[in-house]
């Protein structure tokens, strides 16, 4: 039984949901947000210590099924205007926002309670008071096969074949 399954079954501990956002549009340090009312110093799976800033956000976790396209959707409200501003900046620059979702137990911030999800942003929608971002895992349904398209640039010999 996993650690989170025990917490769901027995209760008694608080689960902290965190998001780490990085993009080439703003460069520099990642933005780390936690769905809580206070800031926390967390340790990632690779040993980095990050300050997770308290933020008002909603997170819809991906389904755990075999559909082939699992999406994590989250909304950031105006509580952390710098995060909202940077996500809008990435949207305007048409840059990818890399999202890492981790959950921690309040009693143990030294490592994530389960393996993190590494996602890439797919869609943005900006409202007056919040931003919604949809990020996805490996998209098996929309993947092209074969992955490499052969044309005269990638395979010059095709130019002479009939």
Q: Residue 45: CB partners within 8 Å, gap ≥ 6?
A: 102, 111, 112, 115, 116
Where are the chain's structural domains? 3-159
Confidence of residue 111 (pLDDT cuts 50, 70, 90): very high
Confidence of residue 49 (pLDDT cuts 50, 70, 90): very high
pLDDT of 143 above 80: no
Give CB contacts under 8 A, 24+ apart, made by 6-14: 7/105, 7/113, 13/105, 13/106, 13/107, 14/105, 14/106
What per-residue confidence (pLDDT) applies to 101?
92
Q: For the segment 115-132, what is each residue's pLDDT rounded down to a tens digit?
A: 998 888 888 887 777 788
The larger pLDDT score, comparing residue 162 to residue 23, is at 23
d(CA 101, CA 118): 7
């Amino acid at each position: 039984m996993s650690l989170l399954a025990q917490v769901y079954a027995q209760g008694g501990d608080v689960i902290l949901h965190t998001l780490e956002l990085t993009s080439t549009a703003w460069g520099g340090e990642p933005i780390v947000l936690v769905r809580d009312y206070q800031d926390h110093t967390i340790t990632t799976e690779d040993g980095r210590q990050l300050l997770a800033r308290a933020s008002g956000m909603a997170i819809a976790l991906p389904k755990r099924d075999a559909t082939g396209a699992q999406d994590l959707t989250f909304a950031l409200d105006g509580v952390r205007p710098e995060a909202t501003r940077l996500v809008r900046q990435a949207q305007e620059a048409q840059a990818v926002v890399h999202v890492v979702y981790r959950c921690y137990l309040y009693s143990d911030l030294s490592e994530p309670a389960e393996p993190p999800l590494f996602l890439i942003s797919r869609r943005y929608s900006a409202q007056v008071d919040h931003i919604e971002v949809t990020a996805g895992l490996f998209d098996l349904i929309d993947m092209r096969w074969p992955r490499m398209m052969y044309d005269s640039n990638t395979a010059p010999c095709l130019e002479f074949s009939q």
